[in-house]
């Protein structure tokens, strides 16, 4: 007698389980990729001109605001847009 193999059909439960495992694997891979991008975004870019923090002017609440030539009020000399524009 020659040997033969029996091809078993997968039950709907087995198919569903395999699909869920495949989805879980894809989700884990995607999560790992996104996490790697997230961590990479915090690695310092020491290229000139790329700053993570830009300091603005200092505002003193006890100082009276000055009127800018543009018509906006400013404490540090920076122009602000007029109201209504």
Report pLDDT digits (tens) over 25-36.
Answer: 999 999 999 999
The DSSP line for 13-47 is HHHHHHHHHHHHHHHHHHHHHHHHHHHHHTS----
pLDDT for res 61:
81
pLDDT for res 35:
95
Q: Say how far apart CA 57 and CA 73 lie, in whole Å.
A: 14
Is the pLDDT higher at 16 or at 83? 16
């Amino acid at each position: 007698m020659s040997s033969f193999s029996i091809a078993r059909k997968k039950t709907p439960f087995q198919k569903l389980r395999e699909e869920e495992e495949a989805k879980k694997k894809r989700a884990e891979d995607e999560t790992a990729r996104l996490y790697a991008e997230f961590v990479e975004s915090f690695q310092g870019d020491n290229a000139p001109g790329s700053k993570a923090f830009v300091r603005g002017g200092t505002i003193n609440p006890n100082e009276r605001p000055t009127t800018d030539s543009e018509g906006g009020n400013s404490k540090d000399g920076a122009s602000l847009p007029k109201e209504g524009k």
